[in-house]
Amino acid sequence: MPSSPIGPTESDTYMAVCGHTHLFPGARCRVQGLPDPHAFAGAPAPIDLDLRFSDAVISEARLSTEHPAGLVLAVPAYTTGAGTSIGGRTWVVRALTPIGDEVEVTIGGASRT
């Protein structure tokens, strides 16, 4: 299924490169391959992501717009490259910022709902 001119289709999964081995408030990941990063940052749509952490571990995630807390990133449990178990968590997204051909996702706090 082709991508729409301003955002992804439901079947698309995008790579997001993260600067650390786990997420925390203030952490940032850069989503790659969106058809129009500026339009997506202004009007995000739900998408599936493969988060690639700094230790080369990849975890599935879902950026969702339909959560009571607003825009969130849901990440299931995974294990870091060093063997640390990281529990699943839903993070509130503080900001989406277009940077060149990527969108930087800035993590806020964990969702309480």
pTM given for the model: 0.87
Judge whether residue 4 has pLDDT over 70. no
- For the ranges 11-20, 40-49, 54-63, 91-100, which has the lowest average pLDDT? 11-20
Average pLDDT over residues 7-20: 79
Angle at 55 between CA 20 and CA 109, to 5 degrees: 30
pLDDT level of residue 111 (50, 70, 90 thresholds): confident
In contact, 35 and 41? CB cutoff 8 Å: no
Helix then strand count (H, E) for the chain reads 1, 9
Q: What is the pLDDT of residues 58-79, one digit of tens each?
A: 999 999 999 998 999 999 999 9
Q: Give the three-state DSSP class for 26.
A: coil
- Residue 1: its pLDDT value, please? 32
Judge whether residue 98 has pLDDT over 60. yes
